[in-house]
Structure 1
């Protein structure tokens, strides 16, 4: 319907705008364009743009090859989902001093990415074949599994930020420090809430709505984390 198309276009436009703005901010903010944090933000942002582009082509443009559209969508999805976890991980060392925890978290992120992304991509291409019905149910199940896994993964890292920074809220620390940490805690709670919303959509079979909002949600989360993690870095320094 026209209303649905307008909603999709509006959501995609906001996701585009936030992504382009973030790319410019990253370029201006970073004096040195190196490091895991820098490149994970760049890759995640490009992933959001690709996923949004793929979804627009899928919704509005029928002349593009379906395989190409799916590739654009899935490359973008992989980049922004696992990329966002890498963004969170790359600044976790500012508050978590145990290298073993950081090492195992990275291993878990990479394994989760491989285990969860691969079946979804395979099933997505399977849905394009004449055996569509064979792949539909496995895809539905895997969608819920991957959303749950990535939500738990991001929630775990957000909880680590919350747990390891809560001490800075004590009266003995400067007001500026407590304000930054308060903002950090608020952002982590918001990230958890946004992930919960996407997960709820999956479990209530609102897959189209989830796909529409997914790039926007990740662009919001990434922008918030970029702001607060930069403040955290300056605070720790």
Structure 2
């Protein structure tokens, strides 16, 4: 949910009234709802702190798009939830309302777009080739365009609705833009999650190992859950249940981050990425945001071919890449050695005294080749 106008005016006494809480805090008499506001805001911030600590302790090197997207998305939940807590509990009123607006805004950006970047930063693990590059390139620009057409206009309308110039016009525009940006970001996450689901199902069809299939099924399940969570939030927004939708959004996004952090970490191992790939950019400059070199060497303990192929049914060594040039030269040398062996054996059969063969070898090595051949005790 994006930041909303906070002008301190009285809102409807019923929290389920359409639009309740958009232009002010909760002024009703329900202590249960106030307890829920505190509980859900605290839960969202707790989950965000937990994810932040896990990320900082898990990564040996603090760099890479995956690391920073996880970190910023989790940290963004904290000011987002805190801003709504201050707003709904009417802690910031009057001129102090700008504090809630600023907190909501600076938390909303990394929470929404950061979540999309978490999914995008690991998308290269299941797509490859020219088609994979195209998918990564298009989804990257989808995220960039959504930031421009959804984040920026909504932010302008949010601050305009809290100002003193044409406030009603800004508030009307905000209520319309709010639903538009919700649909836009919903489609963005559905697109990314759907790519994971489709590509993972393709991998499941070729995987023979139970552990690999388990991880892939978990990946499909988690992305399906992400879509269902976004659908629930979109339904609440469509019903104009603003308070309920904003209470749940911080919690849902924190849960999604925890799920993605768990399963995408496993995915790195099962698709053959190196350990250092956790700390580096996901792809090279052709499709990535930051320059990163492709890792040429795969760490053996991170990539085990037996995770994908039943080696007991394969007669060749699949753990090392084939080298056609070397194998061809070996076959050629084998044929040459075999020919030389046959020639020496044929000569040996016609030599009665082995000393003659030794003597002939020493003579032939000191003179150019000739057409004389020895057969028994005679010469030809």
What is the TM-score normalised by the length of structure 2? 0.60
| In 2: Cα distance, 1:168 partner to 1:103 partner | 22
State the 1:211 CA deviation: 1.3
2:70 aligned residue: 41
Q: Measure, in 2, the Cα distance between the counterparts of 1:8 and 1:68.
A: 18
Where does residue 124 of structure 2 map in the other structure?
93
In structure 2, C-alpha distance between the alignment counterparts of 1:180 and 1:93, rounded to whole Å:
17
Equivalent residue of 2:61, what SS? coil
Give the match for residue 148 of structure 2: 114
Query: Does 1:128 pair with 2:157?
Result: no
| Larger relative contact order (Cα-Cα within 8 Å, sequence gap ≥ 6) | 1
Cα distance per residue 1:193-228 (max 9 Å; x no partner): 000011111111111211111111110111111111
Match of 1:81 in 2: 112
* CA positional deviation for 1:171: 7.1
2:260 corresponding residue in structure 1: 225
What is the deviation of 1:133? 1.8
What's 2:352 paired with? none
Unaligned runs of 5+ in 2: 1-29, 273-380
Shift of 1:175: 0.4
Q: What CA deviation, in whole Å up to 9, does each residue of 1:168-194 have, x standing for no partner?
A: 323742000010011000000000000
How far off is 1:24 after superposition?
1.1
Asked if residue 13 in structure 1 is aligned to residue 47 in structure 2, the reply is: no
| Corresponding pairs, count | 237
2:57 is equivalent to residue 28 of structure 1: yes
Distance verdict in 2 for CA 1:236–1:172, change over 3 Å: closer
- Answer yes or no: is the 8 Å Cα contact 2:65–2:121 preserved in 1: yes
Report the 3-state secondary structure (helix = DSSP H, G, I; strand = E; otherwise coil) of the residue aligned with 1:65. Answer: helix
How far apart, in 1, do the equivalents of 2:193 and 2:226 lie? Answer: 8
* Residues 1:192 and 2:227 are matched in the alignment: yes
Superposed displacement of residue 120, structure 1? 1.0
Query: Structure 1 residues 41, 172: CA separation in 2 closer, same or farther (over 3 Å shift)?
Result: closer
**2:241 aligned to 206, 222, 229, which one?**
206
Q: Does 1:164 align with 2:191?
A: no
Alignment check: 8 A CA contact 1:168 1:177 kept: no
Which residue is equivalent to 2:275?
A: none
User: Which has more helix, going by share of residues?
Assistant: 1
1:63-74 equivalence runs, <5 A: 65-74=96-105
Structure 1 alignment gaps of length 5 or more = none
Q: Distance in 2 between matches of 1:158 and 1:173?
A: 24
Residue equivalent to 2:136: 102
What secondary structure is seen at the aligned counterpart in 1 of 2:127? coil
In structure 2, what is the equivalent of residue 62 of structure 1?
A: 92
CA distance in 1: counterparts of 2:100 and 2:271, whole angstroms:
43
The CA distance in 2 between the partners of 1:16 and 1:68, in whole Å, is: 18
